[in-house]
A and B are shown apart, each in its own frame.
Chain A
Amino acid sequence: MIPSLGPHADFIVASYAVTAFVVAALIAWVVLDYSAQRRILGDLEDRGVTRRSRRMKD
């Protein structure tokens, strides 16, 4: 059921829209950044670059 938002519906809808947009942008930033870092790490490992700590273990 859609509630009646009265004479100030524009302000209420705008508040929820801005919040949804900012939260969606945060989620997108976190998800895209994660896949970008994983991709770069994968590329470096494919080229034989390893971290110092891992090299010391080996």
Chain B
Amino acid sequence: MAVIDLANPTRFLNLVNRVLPWLTAATVLLFAFGLARAMNAPDDYQQGATVKIMFLHVPAAWLGMMGWGVMSAAALGTLVWRHPLADVAGKAAAPIGAAFTFICLVTGSLWGRPTWGTYWVWDARLTSMLVLFLLYLGVMALYWTAEDPGRGSRAAAILSLVGAVNLPIIKFSVDWWNTLHQPASVFRMGGSTIDPSILTPLLIMAVAFTLLFFTLHLAAMRNEILRRRVRSMRLMQAQELAEAGA
């Protein structure tokens, strides 16, 4: 099957139905393994056991940003090629990305209190992440409340592309501004500054969270395709009733 064939919603649904059980099983197994490694990871020499929050906070932050990346790529598909499956992908990614961004903000706040002595500061990293969360809410509002789904999708796609400007701001905020948040410590020039005993469980958890994201995204895309079928069938039913009554 050529990749382009998957752009057909019916073929895409067949593929999702085949792939989803395997993806779900892989996600559960990797989470079990990752959590076991995370719980047995040693305490940090400065932060103590609170470093265990990192195993949730960091993957959630990455996926919050990746979710917006997925939406931006989908927005191109919607605006340039007007492909319905791209629109489905963008709409399905929004609540999932928002949820991961929310997890990042809450766990970061809970990590900040014992580490920094405060739940929140208006520094560049925290504020740009909060902006990302608000952008997610804006896109969801456009998708879910527009009276004309087509216009809502185009508006959401434009906001997705405009909002992508925030991604490099989040990433480089710790370098561009003087922030309370620590600079990059995993993906940086010169290698990670984290000890392998903590880095390994972190990367396993990151892969587990990524699998969770794609499992939920595929399932949400399947739901959205079915929702659009329901809508089109209801419209046809209404049209038939109107013609019968005329």
Contact = CB atoms under 8 A, between A and B. Distances in A.
Interface residues of B, number: 37
Nearest to A5: B49
B108 to A, nearest CB: 9
Contact of A6 (B39, B48, B237): B48
Contact of A22 (B99, B232, B237): B99
B76 interface: no
A3 B110 contact: no
B198 to A, nearest CB: 13
Contacts of A47: 237
Contact of B230 (A4, A26, A31, A44): A44
Contacts of A14: 110
B226 interface: yes
Interface in B98-125: 99, 102-103, 106-107, 110-111, 113-114
Interface residues of A, number: 35
Contacts of A9: 49
A18 B111 CA distance: 13
A22 B103 contact: yes
Given A19-B60, A44-B233, A6 B107 contact: no
B180 to A, nearest CB: 17
A22 B95 CA distance: 11
B232 A51 contact: yes
B220 interface: yes
Interface string A20-41: 0011011101110110011011
Given A30-B223, A44-B233, A25 B99 contact: yes
8 contacts: A6-B50, A11-B50, A12-B49, A15-B57, A30-B216, A33-B220, A49-B236, A50-B236
Interface of B: 39-40, 43, 48-50, 52-53, 56-57, 60, 95-96, 99, 102-103, 106-107, 110-111, 113-114, 212, 216, 219-220, 222-223, 226-227, 229-230, 232-234, 236-237
